[in-house]
Amino acid sequence: HNSHMAIIGRSMGIPTVMGAVDLPWAELEGHLVIVDGHMGHILIDPSPEVERAYQEVFRKEQDLAADLLATRDEPSVTASGDAISLWVNTGLRVDTKLSLEMGAAGVGLYRTEIPFFLQERFPSEEEQRVIYRDQLTMYAPRPVTMRTLDIGGDKALPYFPIKEENPFLGWRGIRVTLDHPEIFLAQVRAMMRASEGIDNLRILLPMISSVQEVDSALALINRVYTELTVEEGYRIRMPKVGVMIEVPAAVYQARELARRVDFLSVGTNDLTQYLLAVDRNNPRVAALYHAYHPALLKALRDVVRDAAAMNREVSVCGEMAGDPMGAVLLVGLGYRALSMSASNLLRVKAVLRQLKTAEMTAIAARVCELPDASDVKAELQRTLDRPGIARLIHSDRPVQQPKRH
């Protein structure tokens, strides 16, 4: 559910099932197949009754989407009037139109590695500048947070293979680009040059696990800024720089990291897998990956507290932010900026507009004391099972459970 490719599929509105095994691929040609991305089911030659049930689910989802469009121009506030910034995660140009149509306040995460995946070699500085300029221009004056190249783990470039025994614990994110400063420098130069005259760029550093990494990256960023403005004559405003909080070390050093940068962004997908020691791409342990695990909730609570102590902005850009129940929990913990797939934005907005901030704070305080992720989820479902909210949280499912493959 939270693998990189599943996230991309969701952002493109493509129903996706990950971890399916023993599918008779050679026998599927010409057969009717239903891909149920909500439940992780693949149905081959469903009965007419099951097909009709799924057609009804689809119709209800279309009706709900139409209803949600009515909230597009409404302010993004809680029922008590507190503003919540709803941003989008993106990386494909095709996302932009939908993001703007949904009323996104900005881009909380632009995955710069996606254009790299579409190339057969490293794109040049100028090629990158053109891509970034396009994004910055289309969203202007809204802020665009560009994450520096985040490869490794489950994101390998075909022309820059990384083979390791434990890829998620190895050479990835900022570790790669600091070891290859020529990649980092070219990318930051492209970003800054692209921002000239627009000044809505924010730079985000991924996979940070120490203050030394931040100091090294900031030295390179400052070097680029000096080269461009002093030596080459560009008129550029120094962009805000932030770090991703996605490994436990960053959680425990949040204050020290915040002291060095302008903002923090919590990546709940990786943070969950590292806290729980669960590979989110491994079907064997997928059931152990819990977005509502009490350890994660306490980590999230600590980060927002430490960011506030240092007077720094803090947001969440993981899949948890795009889940209406997760969004309620995050606002209750103190987060005021959430970044998600554009397709989830209006659903989250509609839920938050129906709840007072104090109520969400009380919900978060209550569930943070529960001992198990299943207890947390059950309590959230019970509390939010009310008219106007329940249908935004629970997808309608066919009554008959079909045979699964």
Q: How far apart are CA 217 and CA 224, in angstroms?
A: 11
Element (H, E) at 138: helix 125-139
Q: Which residue, among 265, 360, 322, 353, has the nearest Cα to 84 in the 3D structure?
A: 353
Residue 311: is it exposed, middle or buried by C-beta count within 10 angstroms (0-12/13-18/19+)?
A: exposed
Q: What does the CA dihedral 43, 48, 50, 56 come to, rounded to 10 degrees?
A: 120
Chain centroid to Cα 324, Å, comes to 14
Q: Which long-range contacts (CB under 8 A, 24 or more apart) does 286-292 make?
A: 286/1, 286/19, 289/1, 289/2, 290/373, 290/374, 291/2, 291/319, 291/320, 291/323, 291/326, 291/373, 292/326, 292/329, 292/367, 292/373, 292/376, 292/377, 292/380
Catalytic member of 1, 4, 180, 394:
4
Task: State both tokens at 397.
Answer: 């499912």
User: Residue 29 CB: number of other CB atoms within 10 A?
Assistant: 6
Please confirm, yes or no, whether 317 is among the known catalytic residues. Answer: yes
Report which residue type is found at 393: I
**Main-chain phi, psi angles of 156, to 5 degrees:** -110, 135
Catalytic member of 41, 290, 293, 317:
317
Locate all alpha helices (DSSP H) within 12-92, ordered by sequence. Answer: 48-68
Q: How far apart are CA 367 and CA 355, in angstroms?
A: 17
Catalytic residues: 4, 317
